[in-house]
């Protein structure tokens, strides 16, 4: 059996490959990356490195040749670009006659109105149309996404949010990576949808958890979207990122990530890493 991971030099992809290497012989692993030289570390350990660019479908068909189980990690970029790239990858998988596709999607992807959803909806629909057995790994939210806000708190800033009382199922990227590896190596995951969510928490609860880890009070500043944009601008956030950030706050406020699930336990045999432990890891990496 040959397993291939796309985007394997990205943060999540690297963690997936490292997790797979603990139980799968390197000879059974391949990675597809845009710049093969960035994956030299994996090649040196016996992993097959293939060149595959989501914007060049012909490279993907070659990269996916002879692959039994494929993990397509969703791409970065604007929605239009990602829709094109994801559908390219799925078409290439079908052409290469891949036998199973796992895809890293978004919480409640088929129903959500969150602005990030269209590329995930397009990918899921394209995969369903192929008739290839699949597993949709609907990742809620990476705790690492909050790193810059945590850095702000370390520097003495309050926790600023316009997300109101919306809840999020934060979990470490490592948990999501281990869930993906479990699906790629396990049995019985054909035609499944996993809602991968940590314990649901509000912004206040997350800030309190950060305060507990740091041993200090973390004040929370709930503001409206316009004020949020102004504060982020004042904190030096690049202009082009601001609309993206405020849309995330809106999505959370509207309950887009409030998906309760024990699917981590199903796949890992344990719940997601406790939030306090995850925060300790992130804080120790940045302080």
Residue 109 is predicted with a pLDDT of 98
Q: What are phi and psi of 48, to 5 degrees?
A: -75, 125
32 and 50 in contact (C-beta within 8 Å)?
yes
Both tokens assigned to 193 = 């949808």
Strand-pair category, 29-33 with 48-51? parallel
Residue 287 is predicted with a pLDDT of 78
DSSP letter string, 235-273:
TT--GGGHHHHHHHHHHHHTTTT-----HHHHHHSSPPP
The residue to which tokens 């796992």 are assigned: 102
Residue 66 is predicted with a pLDDT of 98
The residue to which tokens 């603990």 are assigned: 22
The residue to which tokens 């925060």 are assigned: 279
Question: Which domains, and CATH codes, for the chain?
Answer: 3-139 (3.40.50.720), 141-172+198-259+273-287 (3.90.25.10)
Residue 49 is predicted with a pLDDT of 98
Low-confidence ranges of the chain (pLDDT < 50): none
Measure Cα distances from 96 to 4, 57, 80, 185 in Å: 12, 11, 24, 20
């Amino acid at each position: 059996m040959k397993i291939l991971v796309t985007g394997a030099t990205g943060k999540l992809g690297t963690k997936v490959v490292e997790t797979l290497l603990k139980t799968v012989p390197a000879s059974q692993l391949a990675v597809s990356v845009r710049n093969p030289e960035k994956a030299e570390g994996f090649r040196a350990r016996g992993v097959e490195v293939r060149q595959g660019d989501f914007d060049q479908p012909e490279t993907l068909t070659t990269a996916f040749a002879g692959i039994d189980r494929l993990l397509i990690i969703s791409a970065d970029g604007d929605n239009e670009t990602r829709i094109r790239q994801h559908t390219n990858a799925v078409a290439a998988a079908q052409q290469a006659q891949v036998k199973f596709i796992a895809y890293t999607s978004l919480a409640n992807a088929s129903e959500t109105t969150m602005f990030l959803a269209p590329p995930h909806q397009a990918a899921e629909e394209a995969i369903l149309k192929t008739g290839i057995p699949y597993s949709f790994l609907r990742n809620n939210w990476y705790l690492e996404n909050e790193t810059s806000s945590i850095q702000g708190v370390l520097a003495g800033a309050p926790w600023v949010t316009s997300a109101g009382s919306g809840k999020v199922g934060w979990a470490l990227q490592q948990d999501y990576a281990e869930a993906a590896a479990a699906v790629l190596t396990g049995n019985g995951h054909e035609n499944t949808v996993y809602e991968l969510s940590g314990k649901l928490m509000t912004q206040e609860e997350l800030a309190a958890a950060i305060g507990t880890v740091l041993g200090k009070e973390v004040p929370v500043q709930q503001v409206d979207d316009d004020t949020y944009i102004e504060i982020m601008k004042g904190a030096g956030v690049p202009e082009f990122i601001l609309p993206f950030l405020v849309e995330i706050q809106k999505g959370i406020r509207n309950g887009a990530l409030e998906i309760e699930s024990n699917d981590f336990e199903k796949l890992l045999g344990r719940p997601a890493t406790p939030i306090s432990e995850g925060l300790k890891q992130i804080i120790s990496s940045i302080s």
